[in-house]
Amino acid sequence: MISTSALKVLYQLKDAGYQAFLVGGCVRDIVIGMEPKDFDVATNASPEEVRRLFRNCRLIGRRFRLAHVRFGHQIVEVATFRAAGDPIVPDADEPDDTDDEPAPEPPDDDRVHDDTGRLLRDNRYGTVDQDVWRRDFTCNALYYNIEDYSIWDYVGGVADVKSRTLRLIGDPETRYREDPVRMLRAIRFQAKLGFTIHEGTREPIKRLAMLLEQIPPARLLDEFQKLFLAGFGQRAFELLMEHGLLEQLFPATAAWLAEDPDGMAARLIRAGLANTDQRVQEDRPVTPMFLFAVLLFGPISAAAQRRFEAGSQAGQAIAEAAEEVVAEQNRRIGIPKRFSIPMREILALQPRFHRREGRRALAFISHPRFRAAYDFLVLRAEAGGEDPQIARWWTELQELPQEEQETRVGADKSHSGQPAGTGGRRRRRGGRGRRAPKTES
Ligand code: ATP
Ligand code: MG
């Protein structure tokens, strides 16, 4: 189960006289018989020594230097042993390319905590029996030694993997304070691996959940994607709610769900997550954009309703409400514009599905966002948030041959005076509401 790229890195390090271990999730996955998705290597070679050894290597991270050795699309991450407890991953908001920077010398005492105990910096190199203590869970702290094919286990990790237990190394509260993202990691591994969180590791989560406020939105976006786009999003969502973590990641959504736990928005979220999980199983592409739409739909439609009642046109009310909710959401999870812009668009297009006659209905099918907007409509219908007949009508329309499509919408009879192109152009501007549509049912 070890990829050839990972083996090459391990043997090249070993042949150059360094220690080289596979470490972390890949060893854990192999022990339980799961195919690892990526490989991490730990070594006593410094990042600069690693770089000298591999042509296809670059160093990343400023405060925390790591070597990335690239083989085609595969990257093997090589980390030098560190001395003590550390977030291990470079900060998500750190520039990813610092290859030309001079290497910082590991200072004598470079460990910095903030006043809540969060570990801000650690740049001391160490040995394998020091490195192990800074890892998060015992199951993630196994070292596979290429030298004699043994697993080095300082923390009872093999036993925990075998009994499927997630247990933080050391004092759980201290470890969560050092890096609150470990709470999300616990949920992720529970959802992904079906492990049980050990009592001592589980108990502090609710109490310390608010520490996630300190985490940069870019790092939370990373975690969000790992939680929701890897095929176990439904389970992750239920677990986040159960542990009081959803309100940290999606405050508006959590508040909304608290009021109406079995309502339409909750059903929409579950249907959306099930749909995404299914697509991952089938190796079809998935986008966070769609999940943001699903997760934020409740708060956005409430805000849109207020605007609509105050007289705004439906599409515009939704677009503005989405902007407001996304701005608030960005303080927690930074939603990049490449996701938030199309998300707003597919939400604002929803009222268009009510217009089912004329050439404009037909032209809608070739709108660049039609497919995504339609998928969202189907999900809303499934969740009971839209008349299922409307979704069915659009499904059938797409399946008809073109002449029959025209008959269905009656487009062949109407629109005597209007050139075909203008409908299209006006439609694209419609979202911004410059011109109120004449018929909106
Ligand atoms: P996955 O299967 O999702 O890749 P993983 O365990 O490999 O899971 P990574 O995020 O790839 O997780 O991290 C690799 C290893 O680095 C972990 O197994 C763990 O030993 C260590 N690690 C990662 N993040 C942290 C953290 N926040 N705190 C402590 N150790 C961490
Ligand atoms: Mg990994």
Can you give the pTM of this predicted structure?
A: 0.84
Q: Give me the number of domains the chain comprises.
A: 2
Q: Are residues 293 and 409 in the same domain?
A: yes
> Cα(183)–Cα(441) distance, rounded to whole angstroms?
47
- Nearest-Å Rg of the Cα atoms of the chain is 26
Please indicate, yes or no, if residue 170 is contained in any of the structural domains. Answer: no
DSSP for residue 168: B
Instruction: Pick from 136, 152, 177, 223 the residue to mutate for probing ligand 1's pocket: most ligand atoms within 8 Å of its CB.
Output: 136
From the CA of 185, the nearest ligand is: 1
135 lines ligand 1 (CB under 6 A): yes
Q: With b meaning 16 or more CB within 10 Å and e meaning fewer, what string describes 224-238?
A: beebbbbbbbbbbbe
Mean pLDDT of the chain: 86
CATH number at residue 22: 3.30.460.10
With a cut of 50, say whether residue 429 has pLDDT above it. Answer: no
> Residue 131 — pLDDT band, cuts 50, 70, 90?
very high
Please indicate, yes or no, if residue 441 is contained in any of the structural domains. Answer: yes
Please indicate, yes or no, if residue 91 is contained in any of the structural domains. Answer: yes
State the average pLDDT over residues 148-160: 96
Q: Which of 86, 122, 136, 222 is catalytic?
A: 136
pLDDT at residue 113, as a whole number: 67
Please indicate, yes or no, if residue 300 is contained in any of the structural domains. Answer: yes
> Cα(295)–Cα(270) distance, rounded to whole angstroms?
9
> Cα(40)–Cα(52) distance, rounded to whole angstroms?
19
Closest CA to 363 of 413, 314, 402, 309: 402
With a cut of 70, say whether residue 102 has pLDDT above it. Answer: no
| Bridge partners, residue 78, by sequence | 41, 67
Contact predicate 380/346, CB 8 Å = no
Of 96-110, 151-165, 218-232, 375-389, give the lowest mean pLDDT range.
Answer: 96-110
> Residue 104 — pLDDT band, cuts 50, 70, 90?
very low
Provide the domain limits for residue 47.
4-164
From the CA of 186, the nearest ligand is: 1
Over the stretch 12-55, which tens digit does the pLDDT of each residue have? 999 999 999 999 999 999 999 999 989 999 999 999 999 999 99
Q: With b meaning 16 or more CB within 10 Å and e meaning fewer, what string describes 25-57?
A: bbbbbbbeeeebeebbbbbbbbbeebbebbeeb
Contact predicate 300/267, CB 8 Å = no
> Residue 100 — pLDDT band, cuts 50, 70, 90?
very low
- Higher pLDDT, residue 273 or 121: 273
* CA of 295 relative to ligand 1 center, distance in Å: 26
Domain endpoint, select from 164, 199, 215? 164
- Our answer to whether residue 93 is catalytic in this structure is no
**Residue 251 burial by Cβ neighbours in a 10 Å radius (0-12, 13-18, 19+):** middle
CATH number at residue 331: 1.10.3090.10
pLDDT at residue 370, as a whole number: 95
- Our answer to whether residue 129 is catalytic in this structure is no
Contact predicate 92/216, CB 8 Å = yes
Q: Are residues 25 and 112 in the same domain?
A: yes
